[in-house]
Amino acid sequence: MGPPAAARSPGEPTTSSKTSVVLVDGDCVLCDGFARFVSAFDARGAVLFATQQSEEGRAVLRRANAPMDLSTIVLVEHDARAGVAKDDMIKTHVKSTAILRVLTALGLPLSTLGWAGLALVPRSVRDGAYDVVARYRHVVFGRKGEGGSCALPDVVVRRRMGRKIPRELLGE
């Protein structure tokens, strides 16, 4: 067990057999906002971030057999527990399922919201709403570096983006 959340600095990893990597469009202000939101509420440091355009992001996408698609968020989960079949160690989620699964990792009350969304709202409805937001996100929220928005993430997000993604997810 790692130190309690209060004893760790924000963004410091937990000791867990499960790794969650969120891959986002590095030019998207909305995606950056989501990363900041998750960082603020992820007291355990359970979620890592990378951009799909980065070398690490592309490697994780290749390892997970997922195409680069900047119109969607991608969550890659790696479970390194003993007894888990190698083929079952990596799971990929996209769109609304990725967002809601990330929420489940954040603890109460956000985890309840994530589980409720997964259980109660049909994927077709969730992903339909996701597609509308994804289509207009640059129009509504802009791109990083436009309109005075800062292209550099805050310290916590930078620390999490700087953490090493496990080699198993990079295909090394």
Specify the pTM.
0.74
> What residues in the chain have per-residue pLDDT under 70?
1-17, 80-88, 145-164, 166-168, 171-172
Residue 161's pLDDT is 58
What residues have CB less than 8 Å from 79, skipping those under 6 apart? 17, 18, 88, 89, 90, 91
Per-residue pLDDT, 75: 94
Per-domain boundaries in the chain: 5-163
Tokens at 153, concatenated: 């993430």
Predicted local confidence at residue 162, as pLDDT? 55
pLDDT at residue number 32 = 87
